[in-house]
Structure 1
Amino acid sequence: MPTGIIESLDHEARGITRLDGKTIFVEGALPGEQVEYVCLRKKRTYEVARTERILKSSPSRVTPKCPHFGVCGGCSMQHLDPSAQVAAKQRVLESNLWHLGRIKAEQLYSPIYGAPWAYRQRARLSVRVLPKKGGVLIGFHERKSSYVADMRQCDILPPHVSALLMPLRELISSLSISKAMPQIEVAAGERITALVLRILEPLSAADENLLRAFADRHRVVLYLQAGGPATAYRFYPAEGPKLSYCLPDYDIEHFFSPTEFTQVNFAINHVLVRRALALLDPQPGERVADMFCGLGNFTLPIARSGAHVVGVEGSAELVRRAAENASANGLAGQADYRVANLFEVTPEMLTALGHFDKVLIDPPREGAVELVNSIGEGGPRRIVYVSCSPSTLARDAAILVGQKGYRLKGAGVVNMFPNTSHVESIALFERS
């Protein structure tokens, strides 16, 4: 059986070793370890393998807290000490910037990180009725599989949400449409916890009574969703507090629907917004753009600074929600919103939005290549880029530095998803 010494981790938290010039990605191995491994898949230039035996263990290896680790696909790094996880993600960011973008940040920012457990305020759980496996399963998918993990607890969810997993199994098994409810979306806010039940068939009157009793017993708000996200509606209780999250530093409360995008980790989001605003440094009288603004996570703090901010987003529904939040927080006069597809933006479209002194960019995984390509000579003097993909950040950074005359002043990781390999980051670009 082959052995190898692990050099580093890749973007999926697999250990990397080399044999006869070929890169071997070893699942379950950590940097500095010597392991025996078994090959799972061979390609011409690389192999994917699984750790069979650890001959020399890393001092950063820890016992995974979750009994489902290794089967459930929700986490991939629970066997690595939380502080070492952050360091590994910083190396992934630096590696992507250099190997894909051929650039280095002038400064590495201190990482943003927090509690590694009970952080996930948002989750999408799959539901399967499998009599041979004990009835109803609710949870994340198993690793690299469409099967649903047999989860009885989840330590990355808030405790009160984790405690709902088994009662939800009982509830769904008692419904007449148990086989027509494939998904439950969870959203925990400041005042309420909402569960969105995806239903493919109508509920019976008895089903509705069971749902109401469950909501009362567990103090949750139930939504029903028969089609796409726009079809979700509040079922029970029909009235009461709404979903929201707060940014206390800016005296802002964001209201949102359980199917609308918000950051999953509210505590880290507080620090991320604070870091982004410090780097952007919006001033009264400046005109600032918030690209891919969503429901206004960064827009309203920018507006609170006294700058005039224009939020741009492709979803008309999110723009409507963002405008409502601006009004609710007394910032309607400081924030404007535009609906625009930023994946198809042109220099002419960007020019039509007017001059911006500074810009914040917070794109999805695809990045913002069309947007950065559209920046002209009169572009903003400062750009703060919040990224959820180090590879697309590196690609876009190469354009900003190599073609648009910006300097990469600094970059650092944001551990929004502890115990997973997901790398978020923040970067500052400035023109001289």
Structure 2
Amino acid sequence: MNPAKSGGRPARVSSAPAKEHDGPFAKNEQVTLDVIGLTHDGEGVGRADGFTLFVQGALPGEQVNARVMKMKKQYGYARLEKLLTESPDRLNPPCDIYKECGGCQLQHFDYEAQLAWKRQHVIDNLTRIGKLTVRENEGDRLGSADFGVQAERQGIVVHPTIGMDDPWRYRNKAAVPIGAAGEGGELVAGFYARGTHRIIDMDDCLIQHEHNDEVLRVVKRVAKELRIQPYDEQTGQGVLRHVMARTGVVTGEIMVVLVTNGKRLPRQPEWIEALRAGLPGLKSIVQNVNTRDTNVIFGDETRTLWGSDVIYDELDGIRFAISARSFYQVNPAQTVALYGKAVEYAALTGNENVIDAYCGIGTISLFLARKAGHVYGVEIVPEAIEDAKRNAALNGIDNATFEAGPAEVVIPRWRKEGAKADVIVVDPPRKGCDPALLETILQMEPERVVYVSCNPSTLARDLRVLEDGGYRTVEVTPVDMFPWTVHVESVAVLVLD
């Protein structure tokens, strides 16, 4: 009989030193764990004798032997040593560096199972953080006439996660740190190992567009040939900090951004010549200067070394100009699904005034403008607002107005100036909406609020605020923007009760 399953003491495979903590296990002790779930970081949640240990690489339904690495009073962390019972959803990751690289967390987890887990992850946050009621069965989409009454009686409909037919090679942007490795300090480029700033050298990434991989290979080769010194985080010395590649998936256009530790790019003419020769689709070479001691990729100064300031791409027939620092969703196919769902939830008839908070370069705004009376977009980054205006003009859209500034400042001012909104759409960063913006939404009383979220926990928190202010959450649809990672986007629609 398995003691962990029968409620007895977990199996101890080796002796261990005396404990220096309040938990039941000692460091390096081996225990048998039943894995009951996944954390938001993708770690297995293991249970033994009522105590929780988090285990990277373990999947729900598995029984594992794990070595305790770190203990706290209420939980601890352990390293997977051996699979005793394997989940039917376990995969053999196709990426050679998956176990080291921190770019993906779920390549060992069946894709359909990932989609189900992401839906449940959204539900768990809605119920635990938002204290919201979710219908047991997602059912069919409620008709517009049922909004509010049905939602109040039956709870929120959380639909299955919208996934991809082919969940590989989807990223149109790669931002990769540059560093040195080994005694000789050889230049390397790749994503960080999990939980560290140690760079795992990489030439091929299965979730990146092939053009981005080619950019990384060419930049590494050219940097070595030109003897460009990689940046050293410890000393603050060296030239090349990051390389960012952007690909227009529809147009095939490529932008290369070299992030440097200083304004001078040694051997700049040779850089330009070599990159142009090695990358046939290249349209833009940009330098960004970042001299700060920071983990933030970009500095404040950006200049074009060769070619255009922007590249172009298309989403659902809308053309976008994308500059080096523009926010543009990295998964074009799923962006169309995400924004299409937002437009569906807005339920536009062609006469509505719509406010798009956190509008970026106008992506959602222009999707909405095709069916709205007028769209007003606000974004804190001035360069993004200039891109949004350019994108509206590029597509002949004249019913969209954009203003730069914090949404929580601009929209309250609009309200004081007499602006009204039938629908407000928000697409905030991971920290969610500013409380001042939520308060303004409640004061403006639009008929609908459409919330596009990249963080289920802040989504749940903000939905609770809106519900307490008189709104009712009707539907939520998760969208898998980032297959093989733990991240999930969601679109929610609320109606005024």
State the TM-score bracket (shorter-chain normalisation). Answer: over 0.9
Match runs of 1:359-374 below 5 Å: 359-370=424-435, 371-374=437-440
RMSD: 2.0
Aligned with residue 217 of structure 1, among 278, 284, 288:
278
1:33 and 1:304 map into 2 onto residues whose CA distance is 49
Q: Is 1:71 matched up with 2:100?
A: yes
Which protein is bigger by CA-based radius of gyration? Answer: 2
Match runs of 1:67-106 below 5 Å: 67-105=96-134, 106=156
1:131 and 1:377 map into 2 onto residues whose CA distance is 59
Match runs of 1:112-131 below 5 Å: 112-114=162-164, 115-131=166-182
Assess, with a 3 A threshold, how the Cα gap between structure 1 residues 418 and 133 changes in structure 2: closer, same or farther: farther
Deviation at 1:132, TM superposition (A): 2.9
Match runs of 1:199-348 below 5 Å: 199-201=260-262, 202-204=264-266, 206-219=267-280, 220=282, 221-227=284-290, 228=298, 230-236=300-306, 238-239=307-308, 242-248=310-316, 251-332=317-398, 334-343=399-408
Residue 495 of structure 2 aligns with which residue?
A: 430
- The answer to which of 107-116 and 85-94 deviates more is 107-116
Q: Is 1:408 matched up with 2:469?
A: no
Contact 2:169 2:208 survives alignment (8 Å): yes
Residue 12 of structure 1 aligns with which residue?
A: 41
Contact 2:116 2:160 survives alignment (8 Å): no
**What amino acid is the match of 2:223?**
I
**What amino acid is the match of 2:226?**
L
Residues 319-363 of structure 1: CA deviation (Å, up to 9, x unaligned):
12111111111113x011122313567856644461100111100
Residues 335-392 of structure 1: CA deviation (Å, up to 9, x unaligned):
1112231356785664446110011110000101412233335411111111010000
Structure 1: state its 5+ residue gaps. none
Residue 194 of structure 2 aligns with which residue?
A: 143
Hey, which bits of structure 1, 4+ residues long, moved more than 6 A? none
**What amino acid is the match of 2:173?**
R
Structure 2: state its 5+ residue gaps. 1-29, 135-155, 231-238, 291-297
TM-score, scaled relative to structure 2: 0.81
Contact 2:104 2:485 survives alignment (8 Å): yes
Residues 148-172 of structure 1: CA deviation (Å, up to 9, x unaligned):
1121311111123223433332211
Assess, with a 3 A threshold, how the Cα gap between structure 1 residues 245 and 112 changes in structure 2: closer, same or farther: farther
Deviation at 1:188, TM superposition (A): 0.8
Secondary structure of the corresponding residue to residue 407 of structure 2? coil
Aligned residues: 425
2:416 and 2:347 map into 1 onto residues whose CA distance is 23
1:394 and 1:408 map into 2 onto residues whose CA distance is 10
Residue 196 of structure 1 aligns with which residue?
A: 257
Residue 168 of structure 1 aligns with which residue?
A: 219
Secondary structure of the corresponding residue to residue 144 of structure 1? coil
Residue 26 of structure 1 aligns with which residue?
A: 55
1:70 and 1:343 map into 2 onto residues whose CA distance is 42
TM-score, scaled relative to structure 1: 0.93
2:372 and 2:447 map into 1 onto residues whose CA distance is 18
